[in-house]
Amino acid sequence: MAIAKAQRHIRKQFSYLVLLGYPNINRTQSQILNSRLRLALRLFREGKAQRIVVTGKARRTIGRRMESEIMRDYLVEHGVSRRSILMEKHSVNTIGNAFFTKLLIGRPKSLLVVTSDFHVPRARYIFNKIFGRKCRIRVEGSPTDRRIYVRAVGFEKASFSHVRSRLRGINERSSKEMMLKRLSEIRKEPMTPEMRKKAWY
């Protein structure tokens, strides 16, 4: 019954598909990024949404290109119209992904967020915090290489705990000024060597 209900839910169309970026620091696109792109492309072709938001300003990539640029170009090369793609070009972490996406598209009725399987709980928490209960949010996770997955899950537990503390007092009614201030505070936080290893924010 639960499986059938979930399948009915995913058949519904969403206002937007939001694709979360990932650093591409190798000569070829990382397994994690490629996996997210393939899942997003499949869901879009299945008609789950008519518009895609690609997210990420971070330039920890080959050629110093933004994550959002890399994802947009991949989708266009695989048949998605540029007119169907919106670019969120300001965020450097998942909290920023959600906040700047909200600035870009306003208050949609529903979102289908695509990320990695290990990142689903944190992404769901953040997007629900930023968009609120009136927005129906589903987060789909793409498969991660098993050699990476176990370590990534461990990092996520520590990151998730910290994110909860940093989003205390934040909700869908929080002002733009308050969110920008909180994001600025996060960027200025000192990072220990262990924190740098984590799938940070």
Tokens 């869908």: give the residue: 172
Which amino acid makes up residue 34?
N
> For the chain, which domains are there?
2-197 (3.40.50.620)
Q: What is the pTM of this model?
A: 0.87
pLDDT tens figures, 15-73: 999 999 987 765 556 888 999 999 999 999 999 999 999 999 876 555 678 889 999 99
User: CA 41 to CA 165: how far, in whole Å?
Assistant: 34
| CA atoms of 20 and 106, how far apart (whole Å) | 18
150-163 per-position pLDDT tens digit: 888 888 887 888 88
Q: What is the pLDDT of residue 9?
A: 52
**Full 3-state SS string of 1-16:** CHHHHHHHHHHCCECE
Instruction: Give the pLDDT of residue 59.
Output: 61
